[in-house]
Amino acid sequence: MKSNIILIGFMGCGKSSVARALAKKLERICLDTDALIEQSQNRKIKKIFSAQGEAAFRKMEKELLKRLKASVQNAVIATGGGFGVQKGLKKLGLVVYLKMEFDEILSRLSGDKKQLKSRPLLKDLNAAKALFNARAGLYEKRANLIIEVKNKSVKEIAKEIRSKI
Ligand code: S3P
């Protein structure tokens, strides 16, 4: 087993919840790239996008990947939706793609206004759908393991990952 486990996938597919459940099961530390960026910038993601722009945020993600590679082992790492398309992720650990269709993601998120509001890239749903289409193949390429998450609970997904790593 590679030392870190990295969960990737589109916004709203459950990476953070699954990472917490999996880390608990495996008795490992749980990290979240969005939270790490927010802490280091002392700003919410939404504010980083509005004040500094998306390109600045992507640069932060790139730098964070470098830092994690240099300093983190044995962690379960939840990532932001764009973090998981970066090259070189497999050098950080075992990459697990939580795969879910766009319509499913939308129906999950649409009941939760807070979830939609905190994500600048979900403001325009047509653009979000195009982003999903552009990224879907890349997530597959970056992954060591693909887990279909439709109709599965967080607990079931964590259990499935555990049985397959
Ligand atoms: C983004 C996903 C978000 C967050 C930022 C950009 C993306 O994370 O990093 O809003 O580019 O897909 P979640 O996937 O946790 O929503």
Separation of 153 CA from ligand 1 center, angstroms? 21
Give the fold, CATH level 3, of 4-158: Rossmann fold (3.40.50)
Ligand 1: does its nearest atom lie under 6 Å from the Cβ of 9? no
Q: What is the pTM of this model?
A: 0.95
Please, are residues 90 and 77 in contact by the beta-carbon 8 Å criterion?
no
- Could you report the per-residue pLDDT of 120-161, keeping only the tens digit for each? 888 888 999 999 999 999 999 999 999 999 999 999 999 999
- Could you report the per-residue pLDDT of 59-83, keeping only the tens digit for each? 999 999 999 999 999 999 999 999 9
Type and span of the H or E element at 104: helix 102-110
* Gap between the Cα atoms of 63 and 148, Å rounded: 30
